Amino acid sequence: MLRGKQGFATLDFDGIVEEEEESPDDPSRKEPTSASGFPPSIPSIIEQKIVYIDMDNVLVDFKHALRERGLDPDMNDADEIGGIFSEMIPMKGAVDAFHLLIKSDKYDVYILSTAPWKNPSAWYDKVQWVKRYLGPAAKKRLILSHKKNLNRGTYLIDDRQNNGAKEFGEIEGQTWIHFGTGQFPDWDTVLSFLDV
């Protein structure tokens, strides 16, 4: 939020999306609400556990885009192919799982992904994918980082130990949910573990 002479402006990736007059008594100003539609109480916000969800092979079916291009889904450096991230579809159950977690009063949910350094289009494509498939519920909930262990939270749902995922789980009070393994093969098992 930026403050100017006339009031406030809220910005997002597309620029100014809302301008507000500087009147705290304005009835059109909306208070934040919880999933239930009521303003969240301080204790409910404090009690929420932070969950981070990786994109590639957790929310996003990375290999599908490679197969669609006629490429080997297990090829090395596939994430460096320009535009590849714009062609991906959601993993089975991922979109529903994301929305269930968001609607739960138990969790504060963010997307924590890594965009390849050598593929600048991936940064843009990941934002567009989130907007397209997850919609307004995911607005401003995307974090792109090569050091996931710098984030603090309760859970990280990730399919690989790279980019700080393993180290995230080694920090006291934090758990790395290793997606796609025997313990967590799919979204149903993850949601069951998180009791959603």
In the chain, how many domains are there? 1
Asked if the structure places residue 122 within a domain, the reply is yes
> Do the bridges between strand 89-90 and strand 60-61 make them parallel or antiparallel, or are there none, so unpaired?
antiparallel
CA 25 – CA 185 distance, rounded (Å): 51
Asked if the structure places residue 129 within a domain, the reply is yes
pLDDT tens digit sequence for 170-187? 999 999 999 999 999 999
Asked if the structure places residue 37 within a domain, the reply is no
Helix (H, G, I), strand (E, B) or coil at 135: helix
Helix (H, G, I), strand (E, B) or coil at 96: helix
Asked if the structure places residue 2 within a domain, the reply is no
> Do the bridges between strand 142-144 and strand 155-158 make them parallel or antiparallel, or are there none, so unpaired?
unpaired
Asked if the structure places residue 168 within a domain, the reply is yes
pLDDT tens digit sequence for 81-105? 988 888 999 999 999 999 999 999 8
CB atoms within 10 A of CB 88: 23
Query: Does residue 27 surpass a pLDDT of 50?
Result: no
Question: What range defines the domain where residue 156 resides?
Answer: 43-193
Helix (H, G, I), strand (E, B) or coil at 67: helix
Catalytic residue positions, numbered: 54, 56
CB atoms within 10 A of CB 74: 8
> Do the bridges between strand 107-113 and strand 142-144 make them parallel or antiparallel, or are there none, so unpaired?
parallel
Nearest to 85 by CA among 137, 134, 120, 53: 120
pLDDT tens digit sequence for 141-173? 999 999 999 999 999 999 999 999 999 999 999
Asked if the structure places residue 36 within a domain, the reply is no
CATH of residue 162's domain is 3.40.50.1000
Residue 1 — pLDDT band, cuts 50, 70, 90?
Answer: very low
Find where tokens 């269930």 sit: 100
CB atoms within 10 A of CB 166: 16
**Bigger pLDDT: 10 or 112?**
112
What is the identity of the amino acid at 148? K
- Identify the DSSP state of 153: -
Asked if the structure places residue 19 within a domain, the reply is no
Contact 113, 148 (CB under 8 A): no
Contact 196, 155 (CB under 8 A): no
